[in-house]
Amino acid sequence: MKITLGTVTHPGGSRVNKTGSWRTASKPRFNHQACVACDVCALVCPEGCIFGTGQNTYYANEDYCKGCGICAEVCPVHDIEMIPEAGEDG
């Protein structure tokens, strides 16, 4: 780690923190069936880790997703589900 004087750092340098390892219980699954591309999930994600450009293209970057579940809660068509971290069988 290179130490600089003061706290002058690279913009957006926090991206080296893979906060996805914080998830303990569940992660979002985007079903890609009823999506209407309203963009609300991407808008309200506190991590800003949901991306998508049109219907049924949205996904969460699991490197950063902390599994809070807000996206599943706000989705107007209930197309996002929280599934156990270990996967469907876990």
Does position 21 bind another protein by CB under 8 A?
A: no
Q: How far is the CB of 20 from another protein (least distance, A)?
A: 9
Phi–psi pair at 29, nearest 5 degrees: -120, 125
* Residue 80, helix vs strand vs coil: strand
Establish how many alpha carbons lie within 13 A of residue 49's alpha carbon, considering only the half-sphere containing its beta carbon. Answer: 20
Out of 29, 56, 59, 69, which residue is the one contacting another protein (CB under 8 A)? 69
Does position 84 bind another protein by CB under 8 A?
A: no
For residue 11, what are the CA distances in angstroms to 38, 43, 46, 83? 30, 22, 18, 33
Does position 38 bind another protein by CB under 8 A?
A: no
Q: Under the rule (CB under 8 A), what is the footprint of another protein?
A: 1-4, 7, 9-19, 22, 42-49, 51, 61, 63-64, 66-70, 72-74, 82
